[in-house]
Each structure stands twice: as C-alpha cells, then as structure tokens.
C-alpha cells in the first residue's frame, strides 16, 4: 500500500522546483509552436517542464504509468497512473500574463487519490489526498456556501476550436452571464477549479476539457466539500463544479441550452 502523504511530499518538491523554473523563464524569449489550431500553443518550457516531471516520476515510481499533455506518456500495466499538465495556461505564459499552473494527479485503479496544483508566480500550492481534505499553502480550504446563483461569481473557458466549432461555449455563456454577479476567465482550468475549492469562485463550467486539465483540480474541489459533474464525450470532458446547490442550478440552466447536459443526478 502506498503512503500517499509521503508521495505528496515528493510531488510538492518537484512541482515547486518546476514552478521556479517556469517563473525564471517567464517573459523571456520562447520557442513557440502550434498544436491543433492557431490558438493552441506549446512552448519549449511546456516540453522541458514535462520532461523533468516525467523523469522524476520514472525514477521515484518506476512501476507507474504516466499520461502527460505533451506526449511524455509511460505506458505500463499498472494500478497507478500519473496525470500531468506541465503548464496549464500556455497562452497566458506565452503572452506574459501571470496566471498559469502545473497540475499533477495520481490515479489508483481509475480513482484519483492525490492532486497537486501550483501557481508559480502567486506561489499558491493547492493539494489534496483522498479523504484528507484540501489545502492551500498548508491551510485547509472549502468551497463557497453561497446558494444564490444571482450572487455568484462563476468561471469558464473556451475551447481552442472556438472559431470553427459551434460547440464553443458561447451559447452557455449567453444563458448564464445575465443571471450572475460576475464571470471570470483565467485561462487555466486547473486554477479555476482550485479557486472553486477555496471559495473564490462559486461555480465553474467548461466544455471540451482534457483529463490532464482537471484530474488534480477535481479531487481538490471534492476534498474541499464541493461537487463535480463530469461527462465524458469521446476523448473530451464537460464539467460543472461548485457547491451542491450551485452545481445543480448550473446544470438546470445548461440543460436549457444544450440537451447533452440532460443527465440524471
């Protein structure tokens, strides 16, 4: 049986180290290339960060599998799999906007048991172990208790193919924006989820997410007392996060826009 607290200490060490590396390279000249669209960037810092994280995990946990955004997968028959986003918020990083995160999660038999998200320039370290609560820089956190959608601050994001695909979240935005106190878009799904976990955002929804975008943040929200609705559609994920009341109300509003939210709770 793995000692998850010891593993968490290992992950805190590497995630802070990578954060310092990214902070040192922030606003420096980058090597930037495109992935799927003109809006979907990857930098040399994404790639080198992932390489360093994967090397660390292969040395520490050689029997574990790894799935990582930039292709540094380690394919093994294992009950344990690491899920890594080495730099969530690449567009922000490439444009000198200081919100970006590193996200690392550990999955055991298809269940996330450990999650860690670090925002380097703000020095905010969010983490959770299954059944042990959620924390920010050592202080326990919890989701908002707000039960009024009209008073809510929500967060969302938009897919990279927003210019080509009609499933670009704009219809959901048009439905919800007039009903809420405010809406934020940080550019990092992991950071949005962590802000739900600490109660800064009352709720969050997004479409066309990847597993590495949300794996760590999902556990952190749940361990902070929050609720997650996650719907897989081929290789993409639709997600709603918040407290029980906000999530249920968001789901009802989103159902009015698109029937792919029509699920039974």
For residue 179, what are its two tokens? 């009903």
CATH number of 149-259: 3.40.190.80
Q: Are 100 and 115 in contact (CB under 8 A)?
A: no
Domain boundaries, the chain: 4-140, 149-259
pLDDT of residue 155: 98
Long-range contact set of residues 66-74: C-beta below 8 Å, sequence gap at least 24: 67/211, 67/212, 68/212, 69/210, 69/212, 70/42, 70/46
Kindly state the DSSP code that residue 8 receives in the 8-state scheme.
H
- Helices 189-197 and 211-223 pack at an angle, to 10 degrees, of 0
Q: How far apart are CA 154 and CA 176, in angstroms?
A: 9
For residue 263, what are its two tokens? 């699920």
pLDDT of residue 265: 53
Q: How far apart are CA 1 and CA 251, in angstroms?
A: 38
What architecture is the 4-140 domain classified under in CATH?
2-Layer Sandwich (3.30)
**What tens digit of pLDDT does each residue of 256-265 get?**
999 889 876 5
pLDDT of residue 132: 97
**What tens digit of pLDDT does each residue of 79-102 get?**
999 999 999 999 999 999 999 999
- Return averaged pLDDT per consecutive 10 residues of the chain, 265 residues in all: 91 98 91 69 91 96 94 90 96 95 97 98 98 98 97 93 80 96 97 98 96 97 97 90 97 93 74
């Amino acid at each position: 049986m793995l000692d998850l607290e010891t593993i968490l200490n290992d992950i805190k060490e590497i995630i802070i180290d990578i954060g310092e590396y990214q902070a040192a390279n922030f606003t420096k000249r980058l090597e930037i290339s495109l992935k799927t669209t003109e809006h979907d960037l990857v930098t040399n810092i994404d790639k080198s960060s992932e390489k360093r994280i994967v090397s660390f995990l292969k040395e520490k946990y050689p029997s574990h599998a790894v799935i990582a955004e930039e292709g540094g997968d380690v394919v093994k028959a294992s009950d344990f799999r690491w899920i890594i986003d080495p730099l969530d918020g690449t567009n922000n990083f490439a444009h000198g906007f200081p919100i970006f995160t590193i996200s690392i999660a550990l999955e055991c038999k298809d269940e996330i048991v450990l999650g860690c998200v670090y925002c380097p320039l703000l020095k905010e370290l969010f983490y959770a172990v299954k059944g042990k609560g959620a924390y920010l820089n050592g202080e326990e956190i919890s989701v908002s208790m707000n039960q009024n959608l009209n008073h809510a601050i929500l967060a969302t994001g938009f897919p990279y193919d927003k210019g080509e695909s009609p499933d670009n979240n704009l219809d959901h935005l048009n439905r919800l924006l007039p009903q809420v106190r405010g809406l934020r878009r940080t550019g990092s799904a992991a950071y949005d989820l962590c802000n739900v976990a600490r109660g800064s955002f009352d709720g969050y929804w997004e479409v066309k997410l990847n597993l590495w975008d949300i794996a760590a943040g999902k556990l952190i929200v749940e361990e902070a007392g929050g609720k997650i609705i996650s719907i897989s559609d081929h290789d993409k994920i639709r997600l709603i996060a918040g407290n029980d009341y906000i999530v249920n109300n968001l789901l009802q509003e989103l159902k009015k826009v698109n029937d792919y939210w029509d699920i039974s709770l």
